[in-house]
Structure 1
Amino acid sequence: MPALQWLNPDFVKELFENQTCSSIEEARVFICESYPEQKEFTARTLQRFMKEHDIKMRKPLSNDELESEVRQATEEVGGSLGRKTMQGYLRSKGVQAKQSRISAAQAVVSPPYMENRRRDTQNQLNPQPYRALHFGYNLHMDQNEKCVEYGIVFVIAVDGKSSFIVRGSVMPRKNNITIYKQVYAAATREFGLWDRVVADGGREFYLCEFVQQYLKGFRIKEDGHLSGRLSYVQTTSCKNNRVERLWQEVNKAVGLPIKHAFLELEHTSTTWSRQDQGHLFATSFVGCCVARVLLQRCIDGWNNHSIEDKGIPSQYIASKKNYHLPAGALPSAEAAVALYQGEGGQLTEEWQYGVDPLNDQLEKQREREAKFMSALNDSIGGIEGLANHTVNHNYQPLQDAELLFIEIGVSLS
């Protein structure tokens, strides 16, 4: 007779894969405490269960191996990540380790960063009560203009129940069409329709809110009734706390390092000028390239880290209750714009930051970007290498890349 027929093999497998338990006896105790309604069993019974389902204990990384992984991760995301978010980022790369071991590795690999995190202990969480019933209940959207003067704007969308960042986007200017296409529509296409969208009163979310209202008839609950909630709400930024909390993480890991680099360039360079619209375009182009790499790393770390009393955000996806949309129900960006304008709404087309000296010269633009990327790949390991230096406060490579982009453009104009 099979052992422990009531026990889910995937649950046991995750205990070892996530290194929640490091021995069979430890796993036995954990399972018995998790299922108090079931009769207790012996370690030998659990061992037989694991053999029947081909579940193996994962050999933990050695200290040297873990330190190597943490060192590489620190190069990629900088020193702002504590043990929890670092654990999440390592998980996103397939590396499993306990928080205590990660903390010890961080102390060896990057002691100055660890000391800085210890000093920055002020709790900035919004204490306002919040309640979401499930993944798919509320979708919080917001934009951040920490680097707006350099043509870099961040937009993210977050599930209210799990705090899972479902989409993040970087753009030169906040724009309804870009936000709809890269954030709202992309998230809805992957996960389904949320019951409600929550955003501040900014005009940049009008198209997303319009389509959310347009699709309200698809919000049919499990009992067959239509959802009675408003399909979207506009609130003040301080009350949109599920997404506001995350800007602290994005600013530390993405926005502030880039801003510091460009501020330093602006104050020390004799060739870069804010009055030159071509220079502003170059700052936006290069800055957005680096920001996209760093933002995705930040999202990967956040979505896979453990939150106290909540768990790991990404694990909520399995129980999501987003509404299913039939094929073709979600309008394309072009169709959404046509519907919105048909109702009398006005939208601004996407446009660049600054002025590209190679405007309307598509072939030369492609040549400039190819030469720029080739030079970066040869000298610093591409945009990823540039991002590594920037997030670790070595700003010279990003400044040099900015000036190189300008130089190549001038040579082709």
Structure 2
Amino acid sequence: MDLEKLSLDSAYIQSFLDNGKSHKYISCHLQSLYPNVRGLSERSVRRYCIKHNIQRLNGPELDRRVSNAIQEVGPTYGVKTMLGYLDANGLKIGRVRLRNSLRRSHPDFHERRRNDTARQTNPVPYYAAYFGHKLHVDQNEKLVAFGVTHVLFIDGFSRKIVKSVIMPIKNPIVIYKVYREILLEFGIWDMLRIDHGREFCLMNFVQNKLRDYRNFRDCPAYVQSRSRENLRAERAWPEVNQRTNYDIKAALISMQRRMLINMYNETEKFCVSFIACNVAQVGLQRFVPAWNRHPLEGFNSRVPDVLARGNNRIARLTDDVIPSVDDAVIMYERAGGSLTRESRFGDDPLKDDQHKISRREQLHHQQAHSFEYIFGRLVNGDCEPFETAIVSFINITLSLI
């Protein structure tokens, strides 16, 4: 059959079936793409699917996969964000089918999301012309009392989360290190949008040094404003908090009240921060691709990744013009600035003994679940693995002193 000669990826045909399209629809679509090719009838498509074992995802199997996804990310992912998460993991599903599956799989979660009014926002005029125009950088300190700080780098045009990082305490050198990765991978944005936080000083310094490499040079290299005016970043934080931070925070506050952790003890502070950062990192790693592949409200179902690819005018840089972390620190200090080289939350009594640190990691892996499993249970209402991991890590650390 001529359908075989087209060398189509079977996943391409599978995606139509997963999105609820019929064999007749696929046939018409292929005939419009290849008008001079024979053998693209509905019957030929059906035979091709049988030969390559391409089947429409049935209801029970779809519900199983959606249920597994919920176990990984928790109950707060609605249709659009879950659509992005499944797409990022290689499963394309039509929006209507996914909505029905979410309702069938976990009706209580569906009802909770449907009645949630916390995401109501007041529209504010905003303009970014293309991918590479404005890069918004902002920190989130919802978990700062437990040694967890998030930083997001978001493109203003596409709303794509370009990079993210979690650290115990915000530090300008760590932030510049991530920013440098962005310069190497993507290029330089025309403008950085940040608040007045001191933690962005090194990144701003290098952005200003490289300002002549930008595509559009008539705007300032960076603009500092009040945090609430950093709109693109601010509007992503409620999503991150709901899907990652609030469950972690609730569990840690509960542990404090039951006196399972003592945040006045420097060693316990370090241990809590270490486990919480790693668990939060899992949530962020699962959220970012889901966000970047989810359809944007008011954007005709376009997604951040697609928008970024479709209008990319970012200025590429060669490696030799981007200062290394050490060089950037030296240049900044020679210009009269001062930097905190290392920010610590609590104190690790094993920090000077690499052998004991390795031994602690080995014992922890033996006694506790993986961070991926812990996060999946935590966002589904089971705090026990998370609490066990923290208490175990504290006990192991104290036993190795």
Q: What residue in structure 1 maps to residue 127 of structure 2?
A: 131
Mapped to 2, the partners of 1:164 and 1:47 lie a distance apart of 39
Q: Deviations over 1:337-391 (max 9, x none)?
A: 1111111111111222111122312211121122112322xxx3x1111111111
State the SS of the aligned residue for 1:386.
Answer: helix
Q: What residue in structure 1 maps to residue 102 of structure 2?
A: 106
2:324 is aligned with 1:347: no
Pairwise CA distance, 1:17: 5.4
Mapped to 2, the partners of 1:109 and 1:360 lie a distance apart of 50
Pairwise CA distance, 1:148: 0.3
Supply the AA of the counterpart residue of 2:138.
D
Q: What residue in structure 2 maps to residue 268 of structure 1?
A: 258
1:156 touches 1:167 (CA, 8 Å); kept in 2? yes
2:162 touches 2:182 (CA, 8 Å); kept in 1? yes
Mapped to 2, the partners of 1:215 and 1:366 lie a distance apart of 40
Supply the AA of the counterpart residue of 1:239.
E
Mapped to 2, the partners of 1:262 and 1:63 lie a distance apart of 38
Change (3 A) 1:23 1:126: same
State the SS of the aligned residue for 2:97.
Answer: helix
Pairwise CA distance, 1:84: 0.5
Change (3 A) 1:30 1:313: farther
Alignment of 1:193-342 (within 5 A): 193-219=188-214, 221=215, 227-269=217-259, 271-310=260-299, 311-319=302-310, 320-342=312-334
Query: How many residues are aligned here?
Result: 383
Pairwise CA distance, 1:15: 11
State the SS of the aligned residue for 1:161.
Answer: coil
Q: Deviations over 1:193-215 (max 9, x none)?
A: 11111011111111111111111
Supply the AA of the counterpart residue of 2:234.
E
Pairwise CA distance, 1:155: 0.4
Change (3 A) 1:50 1:313: farther
Mapped to 2, the partners of 1:92 and 1:14 lie a distance apart of 18
Mapped to 2, the partners of 1:345 and 1:42 lie a distance apart of 62
Mapped to 1, the partners of 2:240 and 2:161 lie a distance apart of 11
Q: What residue in structure 2 maps to residue 164 of structure 1?
A: 160
Mapped to 2, the partners of 1:88 and 1:49 lie a distance apart of 34
2:83 touches 2:290 (CA, 8 Å); kept in 1? yes
Q: What residue in structure 2 maps to residue 179 of structure 1?
A: 175
Mapped to 2, the partners of 1:50 and 1:407 lie a distance apart of 66
Supply the AA of the counterpart residue of 2:116.
D
Change (3 A) 1:64 1:388: same
Mapped to 1, the partners of 2:73 and 2:223 lie a distance apart of 34
Mapped to 1, the partners of 2:13 and 2:288 lie a distance apart of 22
Mapped to 2, the partners of 1:103 and 1:15 lie a distance apart of 20
Same amino acid, percent of matched pairs: 35
Pairwise CA distance, 1:140: 0.4
2:395 is aligned with 1:407: yes
Q: What residue in structure 1 maps to residue 358 of structure 2?
A: 366
Pairwise CA distance, 1:172: 0.3
Pairwise CA distance, 1:282: 0.5
Q: What residue in structure 1 maps to residue 379 of structure 2?
A: 391
> What do you get for the CA RMSD once the two structures are aligned?
2.8
Change (3 A) 1:287 1:258: same
Change (3 A) 1:405 1:116: same
Mapped to 2, the partners of 1:198 and 1:335 lie a distance apart of 24
1:304 touches 1:313 (CA, 8 Å); kept in 2? yes
Q: What residue in structure 1 maps to residue 4 of structure 2?
A: none
Alignment of 1:22-41 (within 5 A): 22-23=21-22
Mapped to 2, the partners of 1:374 and 1:276 lie a distance apart of 25
Q: What residue in structure 2 maps to residue 6 of structure 1?
A: none
Pairwise CA distance, 1:175: 0.6
Change (3 A) 1:328 1:130: same
1:140 touches 1:240 (CA, 8 Å); kept in 2? yes
Change (3 A) 1:175 1:312: same
Change (3 A) 1:50 1:294: farther
5+ residue gaps in structure 2? 1-7
Supply the AA of the counterpart residue of 1:312.
V
Runs (4 or more) in structure 1 with deviation over 3 Å come to 13-21, 23-31, 41-51, 54-60
Mapped to 2, the partners of 1:347 and 1:149 lie a distance apart of 22
Q: Deviations over 1:246-282 (max 9, x none)?
A: 001100111111111110101013x521221111110
TM-score under structure 2 length normalisation: 0.88
